[in-house]
Structure 1
Amino acid sequence: MDWKPDRTDKKPIYKQIAEYIEHGISSGQFPADSVLPSERTLAKELNVNRSTIVSAYEELQSLGIVERKKGSGTRVSTDIWGISHKRIPNWGRYVEDGSFLPNLPLVQRIRSEIQKNDLVNLASGELSPELMPDNHFKNILATQSFIGSLGYDHPQGNDELRKTLVSHVKENKHIKTDTSSILITSGAQQALHLIVECLLKPGDAVAIEDPSYTYSLPLFQSAGLRTFLLPVDKNGANPEDLLLLHKKHRIRMVFLNPDYQNPTGTILSLSRRKKFLEISTEYGIPIIEDDPYSLTSYNNEVNPTLKSLDENGNVLYISSLSKIVASGLRIGWIIGPPQVIQRLADAKQQVDFGHSVFPQWIANEFLGSEYFNSHINMIRKQLKLRRDELVLSLKEIMGEQVDFLTPEGGIHLWCKVNPTINEHKLLEESIKNGVAFVPGSILGSNKGFIRFTYGRGQLDLIRKGIVRFAESFNHLKQDR
């Protein structure tokens, strides 16, 4: 056998062997009813452990490709292409070979655990159900009549909603735009996905903040992009770092979350905002501004968005109602040059034929009503109460064992802990103890950080969650 497994490949050796043999069976190299080499012989020939060959043969047996009998060895099935034999697709390989990468196992683990009712959820990046405008929505449904069409809507989204958004962003974000420059999306994450898939190509270099929510998204790797990091300090990302990266790697696009950044809660300073725009204009680098939190400002003052300062059309602006109204509504939007919006709208239509009619109708009614401003005022007050409770609990219970900057808006607190403690073990211990958070390694490159999200946690459970976290933390400290 001339073939040898590739030990530099991330794919397990036994899977490589199983795939090689399966291909050989398909091509006729190993005919039906022929006996495959014994486990010991093949292990010696391929210079692997016998257990590796056993695993490979067991995988082939599970697919119905080979038959194994004690004392008779492993034989290629005689009926592999016959009518009576039902061959099962190798779903495991299909799952692994897809070009769109899965979330990290740790992310999947957290999402699975937070469904449990007895867990204090300081992990989910969303509002608590009690902060969502259920009564306002019920009132809209009870008093307003749906007049729109039930057919496919405009590729860029409902025209009335886009008109309302024109007014909304002008009043609240000082962004001047028109309906031709807006695309309605299924939240901000779909907006990011459309931008990456439609405006970039494999091998392109992009700059993202470190730490950041985008750090955790596999969509950049799925698209074959090269990602480079912009470290975030107390004033946000540094535009000088973008200059250095661009000189080395020719950055094609930069992704920024300027206000109450996820996860650090920091605000990109005005001087840095202007410098990023200067660099964007000088080098022609598009800026993707992700703005889910700016309206949550606890002092009621909204910082100037990059888009409002953009005089040359260099910024694609993303926002949504997910973090300020209701995550399940799935209403987000992109604002940008009409030719870009049309390209993204065409791609969205290929995926889902445009956004669902009813969420757009409800969002339009809510945004255009008197309820919206009162709701935002309520959100600001309630989130500040939750932040204060989290900060006080951390100071009183954890003391000098943690360090953090107190955010002035948003829903996240980025907390520095002892970097020698294994954050994965800390998460597992905390989940056992009834509290969930997000380990920093999911969101950034530095060790010794965790993210607490207080927007999702109920006010009366935040302290209980920190007590449980502290117990888990101290337990691990004692075991070291």
Structure 2
Amino acid sequence: MEWKPDKQSDIPIYQQIANYIQKRIAYGEYPPGTILPSERSLAKELEVNRGTVISAYDVLYSNGMVERIKGSGTKVNTNVWGLSRTRIPNWDLYVERGSFLPNLPLFQHLRGEVHEKNIINFASGELAHDLMPYDAFREILSKHEFQQSLGYEHPQGNLSLRDEIVNHLKEYRNIECSSQSVLITSGAQQALHLIIQCLLNHGDAIAYEDPSYAHSLPTFRSAGLKTYKLPIGKNGLNPEDILYLYRKHKIKMVFLNPIFQNPTGTILSLENRKRVLDISQELGIPVVEDDPYSLISFSESTNTSTLKSLDKSGTVLYISSLSKLAASGLRIGWIIGPDNVIQRLADAKQQIDYGHSIFPQWVAAEFLASDSFGKNIIDLKLKLIEKRDVLITSLQEELSHQLEFHIPEGGIHLWCRLLNEDLNEYKLLEESLRNGVAFVPGSLLGSKKGYIRLTFGRVETLLINEGVLRLKKGFENQTNAFS
């Protein structure tokens, strides 16, 4: 047998063996009545324990694919295609199918660790509980009477919320638009998914930043897109790289996070933002701007004008949300774009979920219209500055010989380079998880190795120092492994 189980896979070996044999039965390579190899001989051939093969045969027996005859061994059921007894579907085969791909195994592992264990979480890209405006939400729920219809909402979202987003964008981000050009989504993630599924075809080429949160999204691979990377330096991307990728690969769309970019925290210069728009207009390539952080600037002198606020030709599709400004659990995001694009995306969203729930839309509209929103932004910035500074001071005191980093002037992430090139970021993560602290290895977010992302916006301020000490222990244990 040429086939061998993949011992690095997340699928248990016994299940891989069962799936393989079931496929051979389905393909007619093991016809009904075929005697399967003995447990001992198959274990030897596949270089696994006999107990693993027994478990695989147990799965096949429970599915009705094989029968066991004393003295004869295990054979393919003679009535495999007309079984009289109930068969259990092989769900493992089903979950391997489908066009929508799962998250990377390491992200699934990280998610499970931080939710199930007492982990200090520098990995998750959301706000900590001490940053969320609970008092403002309590006031809305206690003092404002809910008078909205409980039926299906408008395909683009609740009109009151869209009107408040229009006002918000004009006041805080200098973006002019109308409620007709706004689509409410379940966070920025659904916005990206809708754009990819509705505006691009299988085989289309797109460009995104490297490193970037977008690198980890299975949505691009699920859609069968060809992806090309735009390297990020200290001052963001080089706009001329977009021209190069267009000439070489005919890219159809560019995905950017130019303001306090995730994960590097860099900000694209105003000159380069304008150059990106010039290139977009010259080539007719849409730019999808993901803007979670432009309101979280720690310096009044930093120019955080979004691409959309500078866009005079309508080449930018703008995505933002309340996830990084208030609470990720609200699931309130939005897309701003040309009317025909918004109509297309709204139609797709209605097919998926018949529109967004009215309750979070109502809360979000009341929040954006209240004085609490502006106060919350001020408070959020002050608390994030405090978290950033506590993290930086702690890292400089405990890990200055292990890490170097650029100090971000906004956002929630710290992008750190490992000074010891022999350190493996994945082994460091496993060691750190054992010590009770989590981060994101840099290569999960792009092609560069030897980096880690620490999200200071996610950890309670009082736990940051303890998190760094746990991380330091992980470094020490990993370094001692080389000795």
* TM-score using structure 1 length: 0.92
Note if contact 1:173-1:302 (Cα within 8 Å) is conserved in structure 2. no
Partner residue, 1:472: 474
1:307 lines up with 2:308 in the alignment: yes
CA deviation map 1:147-177 (0-9, x unaligned) = 1111001000001111111111011111110
Partner residue, 1:450: 452
Indicate how the Cα distance of structure 1 residues 75 and 157 shifts in structure 2: closer, same or farther if over 3 A, else same.
same
CA deviation map 1:363-399 (0-9, x unaligned) = 0000011000000000000000000011111111011
Partner residue, 1:439: 441
Partner residue, 2:127: 127
Q: Distance in 1 between matches of 2:160 and 2:431?
A: 50
SS in 1 for 2:401: helix
| Percent of aligned pairs with the same amino acid | 55
- 2:379 is matched by which residue type in structure 1? M
Note if contact 1:22-1:60 (Cα within 8 Å) is conserved in structure 2. no
Note if contact 1:18-1:59 (Cα within 8 Å) is conserved in structure 2. no
> CA RMSD, aligned part only?
2.6
SS in 2 for 1:207: strand
Partner residue, 2:326: 325
Indicate how the Cα distance of structure 1 residues 436 and 42 shifts in structure 2: closer, same or farther if over 3 A, else same.
closer
Indicate how the Cα distance of structure 1 residues 424 and 68 shifts in structure 2: closer, same or farther if over 3 A, else same.
farther
Note if contact 1:184-1:332 (Cα within 8 Å) is conserved in structure 2. yes
SS in 1 for 2:60: helix
Q: Distance in 1 between matches of 2:172 and 2:247?
A: 36
Deviation at 1:85, TM superposition (A): 1.2
SS in 2 for 1:409: coil
Partner residue, 1:36: 35
1:293 lines up with 2:293 in the alignment: yes
Structure 1 stretches lacking a partner, 5+ long: none
Note if contact 1:437-1:451 (Cα within 8 Å) is conserved in structure 2. yes
Moved more, 370-379 or 117-126: 117-126
1:24 aligns with one of 14, 25, 28: 28
Q: Distance in 2 between matches of 1:86 and 1:75?
A: 18
Indicate how the Cα distance of structure 1 residues 370 and 302 shifts in structure 2: closer, same or farther if over 3 A, else same.
farther
SS in 2 for 1:399: coil
Indicate how the Cα distance of structure 1 residues 108 and 49 shifts in structure 2: closer, same or farther if over 3 A, else same.
closer
CA deviation map 1:92-129 (0-9, x unaligned) = 01111121111111101111111246321111111111
Structure 2 stretches lacking a partner, 5+ long: none
User: Where do 1:47-62 residues align within 5 Å?
Assistant: 49=46, 54=53, 59-62=59-62
Q: Distance in 1 between matches of 2:4 and 2:439?
A: 38
- 2:22 is matched by which residue type in structure 1? A
Q: How many residues align?
A: 470
Q: Distance in 2 between matches of 1:70 and 1:299?
A: 78
Indicate how the Cα distance of structure 1 residues 464 and 5 shifts in structure 2: closer, same or farther if over 3 A, else same.
closer
Deviation at 1:48, TM superposition (A): 6.2
- 1:161 is matched by which residue type in structure 2? L
CA deviation map 1:5-27 (0-9, x unaligned) = 6999x9998444430213328xx
User: Where do 1:382-397 residues align within 5 Å?
Assistant: 382-397=383-398
Q: Distance in 2 between matches of 1:123 and 1:41?
A: 45
- 1:323 is matched by which residue type in structure 2? K
Note if contact 2:286-2:316 (Cα within 8 Å) is conserved in structure 1. yes
Deviation at 1:39, TM superposition (A): 4.9
Partner residue, 2:367: 366
- 2:261 is matched by which residue type in structure 1? Q
Partner residue, 1:68: 68
- 1:397 is matched by which residue type in structure 2? E
Indicate how the Cα distance of structure 1 residues 221 and 259 shifts in structure 2: closer, same or farther if over 3 A, else same.
same
Q: Distance in 1 between matches of 2:330 and 2:235?
A: 32
CA deviation map 1:393-424 (0-9, x unaligned) = 11110113211000001100000013321212
Note if contact 1:22-1:65 (Cα within 8 Å) is conserved in structure 2. no
1:380 lines up with 2:381 in the alignment: yes
Indicate how the Cα distance of structure 1 residues 81 and 279 shifts in structure 2: closer, same or farther if over 3 A, else same.
same
Deviation at 1:83, TM superposition (A): 6.9
SS in 2 for 1:451: strand
SS in 2 for 1:38: coil
Q: Distance in 1 between matches of 2:195 and 2:41?
A: 48
Moved more, 337-346 or 90-99: 90-99
Note if contact 2:64-2:83 (Cα within 8 Å) is conserved in structure 1. no
User: Where do 1:225-304 residues align within 5 Å?
Assistant: 225-300=225-300, 303-304=304-305
Q: Distance in 2 between matches of 1:41 and 1:394?
A: 54
Note if contact 2:128-2:460 (Cα within 8 Å) is conserved in structure 1. yes
- 2:424 is matched by which residue type in structure 1? N
